[in-house]
Amino acid sequence: MLNKYPLWKNLLIALTVAFGFLYALPNLYPDDYALQITGARSSTTINDDVLAKTKTALEAAGINYRDAELTQKNALIRFDSGEAQLAAKTAVQQALGDDYLAALNLAPTTPDWLTNLGAGPMKLGLDLRGGVHFLLEVDMAKAVSQRLDVYASELKTRFREEKIRYRGLEVIEGAHLKIRFSQSSERDEAITLLRKDYIEFQRRTSDEENAFYLELTLSEAKIKELEDYAVSQNLTTLRNRVNELGVAEPLVQRQGRNRIVVELPGVQDTAAAKRILGATANLEFRLEAKTDENRINTDQFPFRDNPARTAILEKDIIVTGNSVSNASASFDENGQPQVNITLDSKGGSMMGRVTRNAIKRKMAVLFIEQKSRTRTRLVDGKEVVERDNKEVRNIISLATIQSAFGASFRITGLDSVGESAELALLLRAGSLAAPVYFVEERTVGPSLGQKNIEAGVSAVVIGFALVMIFMLVFYRVFGLVANIALFCNLLILSACMSIISATLTLPGIAGIVLTVGMAVDANVLIFARIKEELVNGFPPQSAINAGYERAFVSIFDANITTLLVALILFAVGTGPVKGFAVTLSLGIITSMFTAIVVTRAIVNVIYGGRNVKTLSIG
């Protein structure tokens, strides 16, 4: 029978629309402006006293709050506006001091029964929610030079183990190591070792009077690998640090060859965010120097907790924090705090070689922080950005080696449980493989974000209303069917974006508006074809069937070409372009379903299986 769907197909369509309604529903529950209070250190606890102190500070500042509660790891204060949230952050941070961190956040209000079904609202991008945007640049040259320092230490150790004599080994600017030998036979032995275990180096020899030189240069492929690793490692580390902020839906992604974009929605305190993200630190494990050791081969460093106290360490680096795969705080057999360390395979092998001959000696964990100051000055009428970089090195632990280490070992001699917990957290989070510098920062205020939301919603509503009026005027009952399908399309599109955790931005709203127009465009083609078949003398039922069947190919071709363009935009675009591509791609798929399948199901219910003489199609 023409224009009749089987029961299973009607049920499937109904379930799909119901599914869309259910998972789009959380978007009706907007997040609350909130202030999240956490400990500045992992060992700092949030309890009722901290919550009471927070409430007192808010009351003293005359700031109204909706609710205050303790969660498992933090305290959450809810507010009615972004202005109250910003004012509260300043008041609470001053009251609690540096031991606690007050972070701007957005607290969900979705009912538990929806959350238990896995339903949640769409994420809002920075242009809609407000927040801070940073563009960071990774110091690629430093990434390579840091790796060369590690190579230099490795080679010195290997040469000692293989009893290869050399007179000097230095790192040359760029990607070079230069080794000096007294005899050509010693250099030949070194080349044999390098040819076997260090194939990433290109070798060049040169001779001078009483000296034989071997210059090692990293291959271009290895340099690119080190640079890619530096960016990817920094991405991971920055994500870990951002997670410590407690920011809802942060964005940390690579941009270009050596830059990283960090967007923190809901955060307005740029200085606080920079302070946390800008901890461009690394770790080095070194042995404490022997008392009779040549001072040329040693360095003296202060302790981070007590700068007046210093220790002399060997220049050779055993491993860096990049080799730590896991770290956890615990206690030794005497009940004293310790940190259990797990290294990757290469780091474990290197640590074992060094510590095997260093039992009862002390090993230091060196914390290295890159501090950068940027200033702009005019040179020949043009602005020139200058960056002063300062490296600060402090010892955070100096403990005795009790036995040879492998991939797993422990750090003892720590002063407190808090120190061990903090050290474990630092090692777990990972260190930056290379310094990063802030090259751009901007803030989007919450009021501007709210205006963007209102403008975007207005655009969708106005576009939706105009399309509905047009369809009703020109296609009557069929126009009403198209409008119902259009509403279903928005429900299903919102549900899909919520499920895949897509981020909605202003360009994304533009994609939704475009989808509204494209959805009815398919119906216009179908309805115009039905009217044409009626003019040609087809009976109503045959005209409906022919209209859907014959217009399908044109609709499919047009939407597929648009979908291909949207996929290309998603593949090559970044930021807002990706947001537009996501909503457009999903909108094309959902609009084809609703414009073809849903409308026909409704038309079948109205006209299918009946002896119809005329159609209300304008």
Q: What is the pLDDT of residue 412?
A: 67
For range 83-101, the mean pLDDT: 82
Tell which of 222, 250, 266 closes a domain. Answer: 222
* Alpha carbon distances (Å) from 245 to 264, 442, 501, 589: 9, 18, 20, 37
* Alpha carbon distances (Å) from 389 to 94, 317, 372, 375, 414: 30, 22, 5, 12, 31
CA 570/CA 578 separation, integer angstroms: 5
For range 183-202, the mean pLDDT: 89
Q: What is the pLDDT of residue 445?
A: 64
Q: What is the pLDDT of residue 376?
A: 59
For range 93-102, the mean pLDDT: 79
pLDDT category, 452, cuts 50, 70, 90? Answer: confident
* 450 within some domain: yes
* Crossing angle (nearest 10°) for helices 220-245 and 417-429: 130
Please tell me whether residues 333 and 347 are part of one structural domain.
Answer: yes
* 499 within some domain: yes
Q: What is the pTM of this model?
A: 0.59
Please tell me whether residues 371 and 483 are part of one structural domain.
Answer: no
Domain of 20: which CATH number? 1.20.1640.10
pLDDT category, 603, cuts 50, 70, 90? Answer: very high
> pLDDT per residue over 455-511, tens digit each?
878 888 888 888 889 888 988 899 999 999 999 999 999 999 888 877 787 888 888
CA 119/CA 27 separation, integer angstroms: 10
Tell which of 107, 123, 151 closes a domain. Answer: 107
* 569 within some domain: yes
Q: For the purposes of burial, counting CB atoms within 10 Å of the CB of 55, is it exposed (0-12), middle (13-18) or buried (19 or more)?
A: middle
Please tell me whether residues 416 and 449 are part of one structural domain.
Answer: no
Please tell me whether residues 526 and 429 are part of one structural domain.
Answer: no
Residue numbers of the domain that contains 55: 32-107
pLDDT category, 131, cuts 50, 70, 90? Answer: confident
Greater pLDDT, 439 or 301: 301
Q: For the purposes of burial, counting CB atoms within 10 Å of the CB of 414, is it exposed (0-12), middle (13-18) or buried (19 or more)?
A: buried
Q: What is the pLDDT of residue 377?
A: 63
CA 496/CA 23 separation, integer angstroms: 8
CB 105 within 8 A of CB 34: yes
* 229 within some domain: no
* 90 within some domain: yes
Greater pLDDT, 504 or 174: 504
Q: What is the pLDDT of residue 419?
A: 64
As a whole-number percent, the residues of the chain with pLDDT over 70 amount to 86
CA 231/CA 257 separation, integer angstroms: 8
Please tell me whether residues 145 and 185 are part of one structural domain.
Answer: yes
Two structure tokens written together for 136: 């960071």
* Crossing angle (nearest 10°) for helices 48-60 and 82-96: 120
CB 245 within 8 A of CB 273: yes
Please tell me whether residues 181 and 75 are part of one structural domain.
Answer: no
For range 397-413, the mean pLDDT: 79
CA 374/CA 241 separation, integer angstroms: 23
* Crossing angle (nearest 10°) for helices 576-592 and 446-499: 40
Please tell me whether residues 307 and 341 are part of one structural domain.
Answer: yes
CB 505 within 8 A of CB 125: yes
Q: How many folded domains does the chain comprise?
A: 4
pLDDT category, 167, cuts 50, 70, 90? Answer: confident
Q: What is the DSSP letter of 611?
A: -
Q: What is the pLDDT of residue 58?
A: 92
Residue with tokens 């205006």: 451
As a whole-number percent, the residues of the chain with pLDDT over 90 amount to 14
Greater pLDDT, 410 or 21: 21
* 234 within some domain: no
Tell which of 53, 87, 107 closes a domain. Answer: 107
Q: For the purposes of burial, counting CB atoms within 10 Å of the CB of 493, is it exposed (0-12), middle (13-18) or buried (19 or more)?
A: buried
| pLDDT over 80 at 547, yes or no | yes
CB 255 within 8 A of CB 135: yes
| C-alpha closest to that of 239 among 253, 224, 256, 221 | 253
Domain of 50: which CATH number? 3.30.70.260
Please tell me whether residues 437 and 525 are part of one structural domain.
Answer: no
Domain of 172: which CATH number? 3.30.1360
> pLDDT per residue over 263-295, tens digit each?
887 665 565 566 567 655 567 889 999 877 677
Q: What is the pLDDT of residue 282?
A: 66
* Crossing angle (nearest 10°) for helices 576-592 and 506-535: 30
Q: What is the pLDDT of residue 599?
A: 93
For range 166-170, the mean pLDDT: 88
| pLDDT over 70 at 580, yes or no | yes
331, β-bridge pairs? 337
Q: What is the pLDDT of residue 269?
A: 57
* 575 within some domain: yes
> pLDDT per residue over 16-54, tens digit each?
999 999 999 998 888 888 888 877 655 567 888 888 999
Please tell me whether residues 597 and 470 are part of one structural domain.
Answer: yes
Please tell me whether residues 453 and 583 are part of one structural domain.
Answer: yes
pLDDT category, 98, cuts 50, 70, 90? Answer: low
Greater pLDDT, 14 or 434: 14
Please tell me whether residues 472 and 554 are part of one structural domain.
Answer: yes
Please tell me whether residues 500 and 425 are part of one structural domain.
Answer: no
3-state secondary structure 259-276: EEEEEEECCCCHHHHHHH
> pLDDT per residue over 235-270, tens digit each?
888 887 776 555 655 778 888 888 998 888 766 556
pLDDT category, 594, cuts 50, 70, 90? Answer: very high
Q: What is the pLDDT of residue 129?
A: 72
Q: What is the pLDDT of residue 21?
A: 93
* 101 within some domain: yes
Greater pLDDT, 8 or 405: 8
CB 227 within 8 A of CB 205: no
